[in-house]
């Protein structure tokens, strides 16, 4: 798939280095750079204002004019809660339960409209969770 616009911007908002690690693995698997995806590592020690600023910057920087999908690792935890209470000037969708399958799917379908992309990301993540043996 090519990366010509319109494309949805992607942001990974996770505890620690989870987001960075997933990007590294996805880049290895797909054999291409995912540098367009912004990564925010949530730090418990950082004050709320700094965290808000980091999230805003990442969303602004990821936005190509068609909205941004934020993928977080777990619902109800601070990174997810923090982004949920922020107002944004652009359209933002937030999905929790980030895994490698979700990331790859979101990347592959980023030319879809934001709402549909969020559904595809969720579906891709769930589909990959199964009893393998």
User: Which residues contact residue 132 at a Cβ distance below 8 angstroms, ignoring those fewer than 6 apart?
Assistant: none
Pair 102, 10: CB distance under 8 Å: no
**Shortest approach of other proteins to residue 58 CB, angstroms?**
26
**Shortest approach of other proteins to residue 124 CB, angstroms?**
6
Pair 125, 109: CB distance under 8 Å: no
Going from the C-alpha of 3 to that of each of 16, 42, 51, 64, 106, the distances in angstroms are: 28, 28, 29, 11, 13
Question: Bridge-partner residues for 96, per DSSP?
Answer: none
108 counts as binding other proteins under rule CB under 8 A: yes
129 counts as binding other proteins under rule CB under 8 A: no
Which CB, 40 or 120, lies closer to other proteins? 120
29 counts as binding other proteins under rule CB under 8 A: yes
| Of 16, 46, 75, 127, the one binding other proteins by CB under 8 A | 127
Cα torsion 116, 122, 125, 127: sign: negative
x-marked contacts with other proteins along 62-101 as a string, rule CB under 8 A: ---------------------------------------x
- The binding site for other proteins (CB under 8 A) comprises 1, 28-31, 101, 104-105, 108, 124, 127-128, 132
């Amino acid at each position: 798939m090519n990366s010509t616009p319109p494309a949805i911007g992607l942001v990974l908002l996770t505890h620690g280095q989870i987001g960075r690690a997933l990007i590294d693995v996805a880049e290895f698997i797909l054999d291409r750079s995912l540098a367009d995806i912004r990564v925010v590592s949530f730090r418990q020690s950082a004050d709320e204002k700094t965290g808000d600023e980091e999230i805003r910057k990442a969303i602004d920087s990821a936005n190509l004019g068609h909205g941004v999908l934020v993928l977080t690792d777990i619902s109800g935890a601070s990174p997810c809660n923090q982004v949920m209470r922020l107002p944004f000037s652009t359209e933002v969708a937030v999905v929790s339960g980030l895994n490698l399958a979700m990331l790859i799917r979101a990347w592959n379908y980023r030319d879809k409209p934001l709402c549909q992309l969020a559904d595809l990301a969720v579906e891709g993540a769930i589909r990959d969770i199964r009893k393998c043996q």
